[in-house]
Amino acid sequence: MKLLVVLLASIALCAGSAIPQIPGDNSHYVEGESRYIWMPDGEGKPHLVDLQAPPEITALSGRNGANNEYRLFTRNNPTNPQVLVNGNANSVWNSNWRWGRPIKAVVHGWNNNGNSQVNTLITAAFLAVDDCNVIVVDWSGAASGLYTTSVWAVPGIGQFLGNFMQWLLGTVGGNWSQVHLVGHSLGAHIVGNAGRQVGGQPWRVTGLDPAGPQWGGNSLALNRNSGVYVESIHTDGGLLGIMDPISDADFYPNGGRNPQPGCWVSTCSHGRAYELFASSVRTNHFVGRLCGDFNQAQNNQCSGSALNMGNNILSKRGSGLYALSTGNSWPF
């Protein structure tokens, strides 16, 4: 019997350490056990990630939040960014900054940059429905390279973002009731840290499939203390995203897991979160139903009170777990 237990343990260890051969296929992955997982870059191309690779701590000195780039988009410059520089008031006054307008900050995830689709899709959606200031946070220097190194960089990136937002409001005037922070994957945990850096003052914080690997139970992850109202949209829970509820309101479209409708490779479901959010900003047509428990949410069997998923409404409030069904192609 003892020999059998040892043998089974050895088989499990080998399975967890086996290198998957099919790009984008995460069917092998077991949360907390598997060493390797496929993650998409900003163009959806899968990259094999070793979750046990030691972080390049020495590289972090040159890849921290001090190198964040804050790209401003408004209706006067919807596609050509103007860079705002922390501490340089002229960079704001000489820009197209719209005084008194809502402020949206968008943060990408691992192996993405300021030009990645998550940013362009959400920025275009915000500007289509609202005369607002959209700040795309490019942290590509720290987001590139080893995933484990990027994970280590996340708290600092978020703290610098929080300090920048504090400086910005103090420079141009305004208050936190105008601020909505949105982050995808690792970016969700960045906006979580940014919100806590300023005492949870941002009016809305939205996590789009917050990154799962190395974040389950992590006190530095996005949580309810990150803003006045914190919302998460889970689309790849248990794989590239966190499945557990971590926000005031947690939405589980189509059960919150892979495969999302219309996704033929598992890495697609992770990016579906920002596509659904962009669509929700434009149309606000996703109606979630309150769930009695987590099992109902996973099985999309909820029929309680309604709360719309996503959208750009700063005053939105809600709590609990919500489930809903979506289509398989834009606008879903």
Q: Indicate which residues carry an active-site annotation.
A: 185, 209, 270
Which is nearest to 274 in space by CA: 106, 137, 161?
Answer: 106
Q: What is the rounded CA–CA span in Å between residue 211 and residue 197?
A: 20
- SS3 for the chain is CHHHHHHHHHHHHHHHHCCCCCCCCCCCCCCCCCCEEEEECCCCCEEEEECCCCCCHHHHHHCCHHHCEEEEEECCEEEEEEEECCCCHHHHHCCCCCCCCCEEEEECCCCCCCCCHHHHHHHHHHHHHCCCEEEEEECHHHHCCCHHHHHHHHHHHHHHHHHHHHHHHHHHCCCHHHEEEEEECHHHHHHHHHHHHCCCCCCEEEEECCECCCCCCCCCCCCHHHCCEEEEECCCECCCECCCCCCCEEEEEHHHCCCCCCCCCCHHHHHHHHHHHHHHHHHCCCEEEECCCHHHHHCCCCCCCEEECCCCCCCCCCCEEEEECCCCCCCC
Q: What single-letter amino acid sits at 245?
A: P
Bridging pattern class, strands 229-233 and 249-253: parallel
C-beta atoms surrounding 11 within 10 Å: 10
